[in-house]
Amino acid sequence: MIRAFAFIFGLLASTVAADDLKLAVTTSFHNSGLSDILLPAIQADTGINVQLLVVGTGQAMRLGQAGDVDAILVHARAAEEAFVAGGFGTHRREIMYNDFVVVGPVSDPAGIAGADTAQQAFTRIAAAQALFVSRGDNSGTHQKEIALWEAAKRAPDGNWYRSVGAGMGAALNTAAGMNAYILADRASWLNFGNKAGLGMLYSGDPALFNQYAYIPVNPDLHDHVRADLAERLEVWLTSERAKQLIDGYRINDEQLFTFNAAAAD
Amino acid sequence: MGEIWEGLVAGFWLVITLDADLVAITLRSLHVTLTAVMIASAIGLPFGAWLAIQRFRHRRATIALLNALMGLPPVVVGLIVYLLLSRSGPFGVFGLLFTPTAMIIAQVIIITPLIASIAHQAIRDVWAEYHDLLLSLSTSKWQRIKTLLWDGRRALMTASLAGFGRAIGEVGAIMIVGGNIDNATRVLTTAIALETGKGDFALALGLGFILIGLAVTVNLVIHTIGQTEREGKW
């Protein structure tokens, strides 16, 4: 019995390590494969072992609010500003952007490939009542999708609109299975291994740009938050080295992310 | 059909090449689940035995409740453990969320009712046989429990193995409380969920076959050590 307790306490003790930083990131950031490039470089340059929690933007904010992570890297501007205004984060620092693309069956029943704007593409999907898969998980991608429906002045309801409540990859799998349209970020789409009958049909509208921002969790609310590490990570993420790695990351010769962090003031 | 075959091939290569990540993930799966099974057995087996020999007022209701708890939904257990261990929850100060310890806690909660319930059924049969003998020797309650646990050990092993089976394949709770962090809390089941999300079905399936193989191996090893098949020995 004593041995069992000693074992349990041994487990508890072994869980705290020196330079571990917990960072909540969005599924699209992780599925893009960029994290696999950045994390080893961060470890080598700063000695910080970044532990990624891959969740939707909505859940990332909840984790930051509760103090369960040290910083968040997300892409939903309105929600981010509310997060900082609520005092849960110290400040918001823009790091990079990528863009969203509209993916759908290559036969393109709604005819969105020739659309002039993203808004028009969405209007056509609604008019054709073509099957559309929504993330439905309050993530940054989902919030962007809702904004696009509002811009197109179309209420997404009816049998053709399928809200799956899942991450980017799982939602893409669903869309591939149903041969449906879906809004995805470019990186996740290019990295996705099960494209089936889907193709990228519309992209390029500035309305589809997707800004990622880094927000350290407020240490005044949570004593245990590693504000020192979060600051070192921010310095690295906005450095020349990060710029080279982010701008240099390519899949099939396509640049996925564009570094746009402002220099430190 | 093609993808199942690719999955088999992917799993085969991962095992043959002893992929470093795979070994780490597999060992973590075993560490979490075996620890959970040990703790849950230490609680569930004596409790099941006690329930078999003790007569008290709400015994039937307790047994019915225990049986019902066998079906505890892992996602709900995960969510409750998450809220308890969160920094803003009552046990937040320990900083246990997103650690293997949190995963062990969740699994212990999920499998203890299962182990206790099967143990109770098994011990009840042994108790029916031993009842008169143990009473005539005027043994204490704890002595009776010890005797029953020891002489029913092979049936109790089934109880623990059932708990192992439920825990090793579980993904809902440990995904929530562990967070599927690479090199920290990623285990076989959460890795499978991740690879499925990336659309890499072959790798996901390969990991799945390894998980099944692991479960079979653990069961075989324990049965061999326990010598369940030896003749003339109870």
Q: What does the pLDDT look like over A187-243, one tens digit per residue? A: 889 888 888 889 999 998 988 988 999 999 999 998 889 999 999 999 999 999 999
Residue of A nearest to B82 (CA): A68
- In a mutational test of the A interface, the residue from B39, B86, B87 whose CB has the highest number of chain A CBs within 10 Å is B87
CB contact under 8 A, B197 and A170: yes
**Rounded to 5, what percent of chain A is helix, strand, coil?**
40, 25, 35
Q: For residue range B191-226, what is the model confidence (pLDDT) as tens digits?
A: 998 888 777 888 888 899 999 999 999 999 988 887
Distances (CA, A) of B221 to B111, B149, B157, B158, B233: 21, 21, 12, 13, 19
3-state class (DSSP) for residue B31:
helix
From the list A27, A192, A224, which residue is nearest B95 (CB)? A224
Provide the strand spans (E) within chain A.
Answer: 20-26, 49-55, 71-74, 93-105, 132-134, 161-163, 181-185, 198-202, 209-216, 250-251, 254-255, 258-259
**Which DSSP state fits A224?**
T
User: Residue A13 has what pLDDT?
Assistant: 47
d(CA A100, CA A207): 9
Geometric angle at alpha carbon B122, from B118 and B124, rounded to 5°: 115
For residue B227, the tally of other CB atoms under 10 A from its CB is 9
Compute the half-sphere exposure of residue B163: CA atoms within 13 Å on the CB side of its CA.
Answer: 35
Cβ(A45)–Cβ(A73) under 8 Å?
Answer: no
Strand partners, A98: A210
Out of A4, A66, A224, whose CB is closest to B42?
A: A4
Residues of B at the A interface, defined by Cβ within 8 angstroms: 35, 38-39, 42, 86-89, 92, 94-101, 104, 179-184, 194, 196-201
Q: Measured between beta carbons, which residues in chain B are less than 8 angstroms from residue A167? A: 197
DSSP-assigned beta bridge partners for residue A133? A162, A182
The pTM (predicted TM-score) of the whole model is 0.80
pLDDT score of A104: 95
pLDDT > 90 fraction of chain A, expressed in percent and rounded:
55
3-state secondary structure of A87: coil
Cβ contact, residue pair A15, B42, below 8 Å? no
What tens digit of pLDDT does each residue of B65-111 get?
A: 999 999 999 999 999 999 999 988 899 888 898 999 999 999 999 99
* B interface test, pick of A11, A218, A223 with most B CB neighbours within 10 Å: A11
